[in-house]
Chain A
Amino acid sequence: MHPAISVIFFTVTSGAGFGLIALTGLGFPFGGGALSVFLFCLLGGGLAVAGLIASTFHLGHPERAWRAFSQWRSSWLSREGVAAVATLSLFAIYALIWMMTGDRLLWLGLIVAAGAAYTVFATSMIYAQLKTVPQWRSRWTPAVYLAFSLASGWLLAAGFGDLPGAGIWGAVLLALAWGIKLMWWRRAADARLAGSASSPESATGLGFIGKVRLLERPHTGANYLTREMVHQIGRKHAGILRRLAVLFGAIVPLMVSATVWLTAAPEWVLLAAALSLFAGLFAERWLFFAEAEHSVSLYYGNR
C-alpha cells in the first residue's frame, strides 16, 4: 500500500495526543497553575487536532470532510471522526473546569479517557477491517495502535507531569507496546497475500485449467490502483527502516527512561524519549503501509 505521509503523521500524532488525553482524564498527577494546566491540555488536544487536520490533506476534497461524520452506523472512518470530535469537546470542558476551579472531575475524566481509547481503536479498525489486506486484518492491529498510543502519551505526560517514578512505568509500557508489535510483525510475516486464500487462480477463477500468470497488464502505464495498492517502492528499504524503528522507537527511549529512573534525573528528560519514540513510530507506520499487500495486486502480476 502507498504510505501517505499525511496519514502516517496523523496516526502517530493523534495516537500520542489521545493517549495523553486519556491519561489526563484518568487523573495523571499534574501540579502547576492554571496557565501550565492550559498548556498541558493544549498539548494533548493540539496533537490530536494536528493529526486530524493532517489526515484531511490526503483527501481529494478536504472541504467536504464534515460529511464524514454521518455514516457512523457502518463506517469505522466515520466512527473515528465522530468519536474524535466528541472526545475533544468533552476534554475541552474537562480542561476548562480544571483551569477555572482546580477540580478534576473524575466521572468526566473517565468518559474522556474511554472516548480517547475508542477513537484510537476506531482508527486501527479502519485498517484491521479490510479483508483485502491480510497483514492488517488481525486483532493485533488495534492492540498495536492502542499500546503505542498509551506509551507515547505516557512519556509526554510523565515529562510534563508530577508522578515520581513515571519513567520506569514509561519503559514498561513501551516494552509492552513493542512486545505486541513484534507479535504483529511475526503474524504479518505469516499473513502474506501469497499464503492467503486468494491467488491469481481465485482472482480469475481459472485455476481449474491450470497455473495462472499475468501476461499483459491492461495498459502499459501505471494507474491509480498500481500507485495506491500495488505500490512497492516503499518496501525497498524495509530492512533498514525496521532497524531504525526499533532503534529510535524502542532502544533510545528505553535507555532514556532507565537513565531517568536510575539517576533521578528531572522528569522532563523523558520528553527526549517521547521525541525519539515519535521518530521511531514514523518508520514503524511507514512500514505498516508500505509492506502491506493488497489483493488487487493479483490482477497486476504482483504480490
Chain B
Amino acid sequence: MTCLPTSTEKRLGLVIDLDTCVGCHACVVNCKEWNTGGYGAPLADIDAYGEEPSGAWLNRVHTFEVTPVAAPAQIVHFPKSCLHCDDAPCVTVCPTGASYKRSEDGIVLVDEDMCIGCGLCAWACPYGAREMDPVAKVMKKCTLCVDRIYNEEIPEIDRIPACVRTCPSSARHFGDFNDPESNVSILTMARGGYDLMPEMATRPVNKYLPPRPKTNPAAQGCASHSTPTVSAPGGFLGWLDAALERLG
C-alpha cells in the first residue's frame, strides 16, 4: 500500500559525516558489490568495459567546492543514497504499490515483482536516490541492506549496511533514530546533524554532519609560509655551495 505509515516503530537510517569523508568511493563500490548479489535483481551495468559505461548505483559520491566569503575554498566529498524519508513522496506517487515504507523500521523498499518501471517515483524524489535498472527495467534504490542487517547467517559485526561496514574513515553510521540513546541520535545531537533540502518537506531520516570549521591560515598570521625565505647554508652544504659556485 502506497499510503505512508503515520509512524514507524524504529526509524533506521544513516548518519553521514561530511567532516571525515575522504571521497574514496569505497562505500559506492561495496554497495554495488553487495546489492548486485543480494536483494532483488542484480544491479546491472551497460557497456561496463566499453566507451560509455552506464549503470544503476544506489550510492554515489559527489564532490563539491565550497567558497567562504573571506577564506580559501574547501572541498567536501558528499556521499548520497536514499534518505528513507518519513514523508517519502516516491512512495505515495507509485501507482502499483511496489514502493512502500515499512511500518516496523521505516525502510523504504521496492517490490521488484510489482514495479512496472514507470519512473514516476524517481521524478518525485528530490535527491535522485532512485535509479532504473537498465537490464531488469525495475526501479532500484538503497534497501539499507535489509538483507544484511537482520541476517543471522553472517557474523554480527557485518549486520550493518555494506557502505557503513566498509567506510575506512568512519564517515557513515547506522542506527535507530527513534532511540535517543543510539549512536546516530547522539551523533546528530552532538554535531548538529541536518536534513537535505528541508524545503521539500520530505522529512528525511538520514542526517548529514557538517564539516568542522577550518582554521583560516590568513587569520592565524601564517601567510608568510607561502613565500619561503632562503638563508645562506652553513657547514658541508655551505662549502659545497661555495665550491660549485667557483667551478661555475
Binding site for B on A (CB under 8 A): 1, 58-62, 64-65, 67-71, 73-78, 81, 126, 129-133, 197-198, 200, 202-206, 208-219, 221-225, 228-229, 294-296, 299-300
Known: A216-B62, A229-B122. 16 other contacts (CB 8 A): A59-B118, A71-B95, A73-B2, A73-B3, A75-B92, A126-B120, A132-B89, A198-B197, A205-B208, A206-B64, A211-B66, A212-B66, A213-B64, A221-B53, A229-B128, A299-B127
Question: Shortest Cβ distance from B197 into chain A, in angstroms?
Answer: 5
A136 closest partner in B (C-beta): B123
B207 closest partner in A (C-beta): A205
Number of interface residues of B (CB under 8 A): 68
Task: Tell me whether A131 and B76 are in contact (CB under 8 A).
Answer: no
Complex Cα gap A64–B139 (Å): 14
Q: Is the interface of B mostly helix, strand, loop or mixed?
A: loop
Any A CB within 8 A of the CB of B96: yes
> Which of B3, B125, B195, B199 contacts A74, CB < 8 Å?
B3
Task: Tell me whether A75 and B124 are in contact (CB under 8 A).
Answer: no
Task: Tell me whether B118 and A58 are in contact (CB under 8 A).
Answer: yes
In the complex, what residues of A have CB within 8 A of residue B61's CB? 218
Task: Tell me whether A215 and B95 are in contact (CB under 8 A).
Answer: no
Which stretch (B109-117, B153-161, B217-225, B230-238) binds chain A?
B109-117
B52 closest partner in A (C-beta): A221
Complex Cα gap A208–B198 (Å): 14
A297 closest partner in B (C-beta): B128
Complex Cα gap A213–B137 (Å): 33
Task: Tell me whether B62 and A217 are in contact (CB under 8 A).
Answer: yes
Task: Tell me whether A212 and B208 are in contact (CB under 8 A).
Answer: no
> Which of A65, A74, A204, A223 contacts B116, CB < 8 Å?
A65
Task: Tell me whether A295 and B66 are in contact (CB under 8 A).
Answer: no
Binding site for A on B (CB under 8 A): 1-3, 18, 28, 52-57, 60-69, 71, 73-76, 78, 80, 89, 91-98, 114-120, 122-128, 131-132, 134, 136-138, 194-201, 208, 210-211
In the complex, what residues of A have CB within 8 A of residue B127's CB? 203, 296, 299
Task: Tell me whether B116 and A206 are in contact (CB under 8 A).
Answer: no
Task: Tell me whether B56 and A224 are in contact (CB under 8 A).
Answer: yes
Complex Cα gap A301–B67 (Å): 15
Complex Cα gap A203–B129 (Å): 13
Task: Tell me whether B96 and A64 are in contact (CB under 8 A).
Answer: yes
Complex Cα gap A197–B118 (Å): 28
Q: A210-B67, A229-B123 are in contact. Are A75 and B116 (CB under 8 A)?
A: no
Task: Tell me whether B128 and A299 are in contact (CB under 8 A).
Answer: yes
Mind listing 22 A-B residue pairs with CB under 8 Å? A1-B123, A59-B117, A59-B118, A60-B136, A60-B137, A60-B138, A61-B115, A61-B116, A68-B95, A68-B116, A73-B1, A74-B93, A77-B93, A78-B95, A129-B93, A206-B18, A206-B64, A208-B210, A215-B65, A224-B132, A295-B197, A296-B128
Ranked 3 nearest A-B pairs via Cβ: A60-B117, A60-B137, A218-B60
